[in-house]
Amino acid sequence: MRSIIQIKNLTKKYKIDGRAFKALNDINLKINEGSFTTIVGKSGCGKSTLLRIIAGLEEAAEGKIIGKKKVKSSLVFQEARLMPWLTVEENILFPLKKRDKKSESVKKVNEHLNLLGLNEFKDAYPNQISGGMAQRTALGRALVYDSDLILMDEPLGSLDAFNRYKLQQELQHIFSKNNKTVIFVTHDIDEAIFLGDRVLVMEAGSITKEFNLEQEPSISIKKAKQLELKEKILAEIKA
C-alpha cells in the first residue's frame, strides 16, 4: 500500500524551568493512503505534539517526515475554532474561497452541510449553535477542503456523551465511504477502537504498541474482538 507520509526517528524536546525533557522520543511511523489511524494514550503522552509537528505547526528537534511537503493537511482541534463573524455555511466555505470557482464551492459546501446534518443551521452564527453543531461545522470545514491527510486532535473531547456517540457513528459512516487518510488522537480507548482500522498506543513520548483491526462482517465477533483489544490496550497503558 502507498504511504502518504513516513515519520522517521522523530524527537521533540521541550524546556520547562531550564530542564529539558523529551515530549517525543524516536517516533517511527508510516501512514498509508486511505487508512484511519487512531492514537490513544494518557494525557501528556505527546499525542498533540506529534499531530502539531505533522501539521507543520511545530518543528521537531530530530528526525524527518518524508512526504510532508507534498501533502495537504487539515487539522481539527478539540474546540471548533470557528470564525465568529461568519455563519456556519460561510465557515465551511472559507477554505475554498481563494481556491475554487464560486459555483463549485457552493456545491461542495451544500454537500457537506447535508452530510453533517447542518442544513437547518447554515445561516446561524457560531454563538447561536450548540457545541456539537460547532464541531460538525469544524469537521465540514476540514472535509470540504479535500485534503490528503486529516489530522484530528480529540475532536469529540468537548462533547457530551450523547453527541460524542452520535458523531462517532457519523464519522465512521463518512470515512468508510470516502477513503480519506486520517490520523485521529484520543484518550478514549473505546473511541480509538471503534473508529480506527489501526490503533497505536502512545506512552511517554513513544509508540509502544500497534494493533490492526481486520474488517469483521459479524457484529458479535467484532464486538468480542474489540473487547479483547480494549483489555490489551488497558494492560499496555499503565495507570
Ligand X SMILES: Nc1ncnc2c1ncn2[C@@H]1O[C@H](COP(=O)(O)OP(=O)(O)OP(=O)(O)O)[C@@H](O)[C@H]1O
Q: Which of 20, 43, 162, 214 binds ligand X (CB under 6 A)?
A: 43
Q: Which of 25, 35, 38, 48 binds ligand X (CB under 6 A)?
A: 48
Q: Which of 4, 35, 46, 168 binds ligand X (CB under 6 A)?
A: 46
- In the complex, the smallest distance separating the C-beta of residue 48 from ligand X, rounded to whole angstroms, is 3
- In the complex, the smallest distance separating the C-beta of residue 15 from ligand X, rounded to whole angstroms, is 7
- Judge whether 224 and 62 are in contact, CB under 8 Å: no
How far is Cα 183 from Cα 55, in angstroms, rounded to an integer? 11
Q: Tell whether residue 53 is a contact of ligand X (CB under 6 A).
A: no
Picking from 171, 221, 216, the residue whose alpha carbon sits closest to that of residue 195 is: 171
- In the complex, the smallest distance separating the C-beta of residue 171 from ligand X, rounded to whole angstroms, is 19
Of 44 and 131, the one with the shorter C-beta distance to ligand X is 44
- Counting residues that bind ligand X (by CB under 6 A) gives 12
Judged by CB under 6 A, which stretch of 46-54, 68-76, 102-110, 133-141 contacts ligand X?
46-54
Residue 65 dihedral angles phi and psi, to the nearest 5°: -120, 110
- In the complex, the smallest distance separating the C-beta of residue 183 from ligand X, rounded to whole angstroms, is 13
Of 96 and 202, the one with the shorter C-beta distance to ligand X is 202
- In the complex, the smallest distance separating the C-beta of residue 154 from ligand X, rounded to whole angstroms, is 7
Of 164 and 187, the one with the shorter C-beta distance to ligand X is 187
In sequence order, the 6+-apart residues with CB closer than 8 A to the CB of 192 are 38, 39, 40, 184, 186, 199, 233
List the interface residues with ligand X, window 174-193 (CB under 6 A).
187
- In the complex, the smallest distance separating the C-beta of residue 2 from ligand X, rounded to whole angstroms, is 28
Picking from 54, 50, 17, 63, the residue whose alpha carbon sits closest to that of residue 204 is: 50
- Judge whether 64 and 12 are in contact, CB under 8 Å: no
Q: Concatenated DSSP letters for 136-189?
A: HHHHHHHHHTT-SEEEEESTTTTS-HHHHHHHHHHHHHHHHHH--EEEEEES-H
Written as nine digits, the cell of 196 is 480506527
List the interface residues with ligand X, window 13-32 (CB under 6 A).
14, 16, 23
Of 59 and 214, the one with the shorter C-beta distance to ligand X is 59
In sequence order, the 6+-apart residues with CB closer than 8 A to the CB of 204 are 25, 45, 46
